[in-house]
Structure 1
Amino acid sequence: MKPIYLLIGLLIIATTSCKSSKSVASQAEIDALHTMVTNKQFRIVSDWAYPQVTNAMQQVLSSGLLQPGSAGGGINLIGNTNFLRVSGDSITSYLPYYGERQMQVAYGGGDSAIEFKGLVENYKAVQNEDHSYTISFEAKSNSESFNVYIQLSPNLNSYMTVNGTSRHTIRYSGEVKPIKPLK
């Protein structure tokens, strides 16, 4: 009889202690994110890049050529220059690209990173039930067009997916910060 009570007690403890803790954002964090997104004044700096893992990319990851901490499709960007800046209707970016190119490469390989400098097209920002934002837009570099999808959380985490016309998809995770508009 005692083993049954012990088993029932363990089941009760296991089911009540395994609740998922849902992090609730403060109103100040929600308001700060709302202001950044509606004013289109933010800058994203990524800590990690997640290239699409193809056979060739897996060989590079296994070779030991990348910085320490990079493995399994996640490449550590801490200490590497990278950003995506949205200021009104203009965008500027320098995002290091890891992955396979499908077609054209500029002479001398000068377009290895994803670099935008110009106007944002088809900008859409949607607020989700959890007060995060899903942002999508199109941007162009010198020789390529990109579709960009960004998820911004009230805790200022960012998750970005970039689809290029001649590159495999790459994802980035990092942090979003407000910027002051240029006068």
Structure 2
Amino acid sequence: MKSFYFFISVNVLTLMSCVSHKSIVSQEDIDALDSLVKNQRFQIHSDWLYPQASIALQQVLNSGILQGGNNANSISLIGNPNFIRISGDSISSYLPYYGERRMQVDYGGRDSTIEFEGLVKNYKVEKNKDHSYTISFEAKSKMEGFKVFIELTPTLKSDVTISGNSRSSINYIGNVKPLDE
């Protein structure tokens, strides 16, 4: 009988420890994000990028060319310049790119970043039940078109997914802040 109670208590503790923990956000955080998205004046700075892993990319990146702590699945951007700026209907970006290119490579390999500047097309904003926002739009660089999907949370965390016409999709995780005047 003691083993039965022990078994039950271990199972209850296991189930309780597996319950997901939701972060509590204040109404002030929710209002700040609402204002940020409504004004369309914000900047995203990413700390990590997650390339779409393929066997070829994994072999190259795991060959030792990356600094410690990085691998083919996740690369730290801390200390590296990167941004996405949205100001009204204008956008600019400078994001490092690790992944496979299919075509349209600039001569000399100078097109190793995702850079676009200009007007956004098909800008859509959707507020989710958890008070986060999903923003999607299209943007163009000199040689390529991109579809961009951004998720912003009330804790001012960002999750950006970009897919290009001639590149594998890539994901950036970071923070969002208001755009300085």
TM over 0.5: yes
Find the aligned partners of 1:107 and 1:15 in 2 and give their Cα distance. 57
Give the counterpart letter for 1:120 in structure 2: V
Matched-pair identity in %:
58
User: CA offset at residue 62 of structure 1?
Assistant: 1.2
Q: Give 2:16's aligned residue.
A: 16
- Superposed counterparts of 1:40-51, under 5 Å: 40-51=40-51
Give the counterpart letter for 1:177 in structure 2: K
After superposition, the Cα gap between the structure-2 partners of 1:6 and 1:129, relative to the gap in structure 1 and judged at 3 Å, is same
Find the aligned partners of 1:12 and 1:62 in 2 and give their Cα distance. 42
TM-score when scaled to structure 2? 0.94
SS at match of 2:108: helix
Find the aligned partners of 1:11 and 1:80 in 2 and give their Cα distance. 46
After superposition, the Cα gap between the structure-2 partners of 1:171 and 1:17, relative to the gap in structure 1 and judged at 3 Å, is closer
TM-score when scaled to structure 1? 0.93
My pick for the range that moved more, 149-158 or 3-12, is: 3-12
Aligned length: 181
Structure 2 regions of 5+ residues with no counterpart? none
Asked if the contact 2:51/2:98 (under 8 Å) is kept, the reply is: yes
Find the aligned partners of 2:10 and 2:162 in 1 and give their Cα distance. 47
- Superposed counterparts of 1:136-175, under 5 Å: 136-175=136-175
Q: Give 1:77's aligned residue.
A: 77
Find the aligned partners of 2:124 and 2:76 in 1 and give their Cα distance. 29
Asked if the contact 2:40/2:87 (under 8 Å) is kept, the reply is: yes
Structure 1 regions of 5+ residues with no counterpart? none
Find the aligned partners of 2:8 and 2:36 in 1 and give their Cα distance. 51
- Superposed counterparts of 1:1-183, under 5 Å: 1-180=1-180, 182=181
User: CA offset at residue 2 of structure 1?
Assistant: 2.2
User: CA offset at residue 17 of structure 1?
Assistant: 4.1
Asked if the contact 1:61/1:73 (under 8 Å) is kept, the reply is: no
Find the aligned partners of 1:8 and 1:55 in 2 and give their Cα distance. 45
